[in-house]
């Protein structure tokens, strides 16, 4: 008589699951609730909560905050990774993080040289260059290559992908299609997109990937959010922005608890989150002389902001008393916040400076993604 999944001994199931690599564990969570709970509660890596990673774009150093709830401003923050002492002129920026892997871009290289890093193991993996470097030779002084990339993980396929969005570079070279590189493959693919979805990206608004979908905002007088499915590699929607941003450099995409959000800066700064049915709902309101940290500002019960004058990161708790009607979280001038880490993150320019990310340590080897 066959044994039903629900009757399978949990200890035996865990012993089997522990033999799987982290990438397979993540996919196995989707089988059923029993498997999800066993993986989350009984395996080391999946028990690790996502931590706040602070990136200094000026010095190319990453710090990780092990405990946001700690009252100490220095005891839980540690250096995670820094650019080695190679070429001092290298301008290395953090594109994004996923499952403990860091995606870095050297903006001093034409097209942006992409390298993956696992800080826990010390491994690095250079990725194939964008297949257009030869015609970009005159743009070697452009220092924004990283802004057009997104590093993504698709939860059902278990594949990592690097995405380069449609954009204009240096006011002279235009990318009209989406370029995709799947880890383990030797070449990029160009994905044609329709006229509406192919409008070039407003790089100041950022590019973000959430649950297997990459999002960007089109450039122009009537901006729209484009959503690109990473499994089918096609545009799935083009959505209007909520509210009325005062200018193209006064809003940016963000992730709020695994949902797409958009920060619209002003007095106050509001955060709108896309809920079920593709409805925009205002969820945060910040009436304080701080920036909301980007790309990620919401960590569990905390909101991270960056002081405009001292470039330090502060946390603010989602207190019940700070909720506005409609469950809107409010951060006011009276909420001084608590210093997260005595580390300046170098806000020399707000536009396109992503400084906070999520990080979960992993021992997954990068060697399995070497192109063959």
Q: HSE on the CB side for 162, CA within 13 Å?
A: 30
According to CATH, the topology of domain 49-247+343-369 is Neuraminidase (2.120.10)
Residue 328: is its pLDDT beyond 50?
yes
Angle between helices 10-17 and 33-42 (to 10 degrees): 70
Pairwise CA distance, residues 274 & 252, whole Å: 14
The three-state secondary structure class of 153 is strand
Global pTM reads 0.85
Q: What confidence tens digit (pLDDT) does each residue in 193-223 have?
A: 876 666 889 999 999 999 999 999 998 888 9
Greatest mean pLDDT range, 35-39, 74-78, 331-335, 342-346: 331-335
pLDDT value of residue 359: 94
pLDDT of 86: 58
pLDDT band at residue 349 under the 50/70/90 scheme: very low
- Does the structure show a pLDDT above 90 at 9? no
Q: Which is it for strands 302-307 and 313-317: parallel, antiparallel or unpaired?
A: antiparallel
Average pLDDT of span 33-46 = 63
- pLDDT at 321 (0 to 100): 42
- Each residue's pLDDT tens digit, 217-248: 998 888 999 999 999 999 999 999 997 777 77
Mean pLDDT confidence for 302-306: 91
CA atoms 303, 254, 220, 282: torsion sign: negative
Output Rg (C-alpha) for the chain, integer angstroms. 21
Portion of the chain with pLDDT greater than 70, in percent: 79
In the prediction, which pLDDT does 250 show? 87
Instruction: Report d(CA 263, CA 205) in Å as an integer.
Output: 9
pLDDT at 196: 61
Confidence (pLDDT) at 156: 80
Q: What's the pLDDT score for residue 348?
A: 47
Q: How far is CA 340 from the centre of its chain?
A: 20
* 3-state helix/strand/coil string of 278-347: CEEEEEEEECCCEEECCEECEECCEEEEEECCCCCEEEEECCHHHEECCCEEEECCCCCCEEEECCCCCC
Share of the chain above pLDDT 90, in %: 40
Is pLDDT above 90 for 144?
Answer: no
Domain ranges of the chain: 10-47, 49-247+343-369
CB–CB of 77/64 below 8 Å? yes
Strands 279-286 and 328-331: parallel
User: 333 pLDDT exceeds 50?
Assistant: yes
Kindly list the strands in the beta sheet with 178-182, ordered across the sheet, starting from the edge strand earlier in the chain. Answer: 149-153, 160-164, 178-182, 189-191
Residue 362 has pLDDT above 60, yes or no: yes
């Amino acid at each position: 008589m066959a044994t039903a999944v629900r009757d399978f001994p949990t200890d035996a199931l865990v012993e089997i699951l522990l033999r799987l690599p982290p990438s397979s564990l993540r996919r196995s969570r989707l089988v059923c609730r029993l498997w999800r709970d066993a993986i989350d509660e009984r395996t080391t890596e999946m028990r690790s909560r996502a931590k706040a990673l602070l990136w200094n774009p000026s010095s190319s150093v990453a710090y990780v905050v092990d405990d946001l709830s700690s009252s100490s401003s220095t005891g839980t923050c540690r250096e995670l990774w820094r650019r080695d002492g190679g070429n001092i002129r290298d301008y290395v920026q953090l594109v994004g993080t996923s499952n403990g892997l860091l995606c870095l871009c050297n903006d001093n290289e034409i097209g942006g040289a992409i390298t993956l890093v696992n800080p826990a193991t010390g491994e690095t993996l250079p990725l194939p260059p964008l297949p257009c470097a030869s015609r970009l030779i005159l743009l070697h002084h452009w220092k924004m290559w990283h802004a057009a990339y997104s590093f993504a993980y698709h939860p059902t396929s278990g594949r990592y992908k690097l995405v380069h969005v449609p954009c204009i570079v240096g006011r002279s070279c235009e990318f009209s299609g989406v370029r995709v590189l799947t880890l383990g493959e030797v070449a990029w693919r160009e994905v044609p997109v329709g006229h509406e979805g192919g409008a070039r990206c407003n790089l100041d608004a950022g590019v973000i990937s959430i649950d297997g979908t990459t999002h960007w905002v089109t450039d122009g007088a009537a901006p729209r959010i484009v959503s690109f499915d990473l499994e089918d590699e096609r545009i799935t929607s083009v959505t209007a922005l909520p509210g009325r941003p005062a200018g193209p450099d006064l809003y940016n995409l963000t992730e709020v608890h695994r949902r797409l959000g958009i920060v619209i800066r002003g007095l106050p700064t509001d955060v709108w989150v896309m809920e079920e049915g593709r409805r925009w709902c205002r969820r945060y309101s910040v009436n304080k002389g701080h920036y909301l940290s980007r790309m990620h500002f919401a960590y569990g019960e905390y909101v991270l902001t960056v002081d405009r004058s001292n470039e330090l990161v502060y946390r603010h708790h989602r207190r019940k008393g700070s909720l506005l009607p409609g469950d809107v979280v409010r951060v006011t001038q009276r909420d001084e916040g608590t210093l997260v880490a005595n580390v300046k993150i170098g806000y020399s320019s707000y536009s396109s400076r992503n400084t906070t990310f999520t990080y979960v340590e992993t021992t997954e080897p990068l060697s399995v993604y070497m192109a063959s």
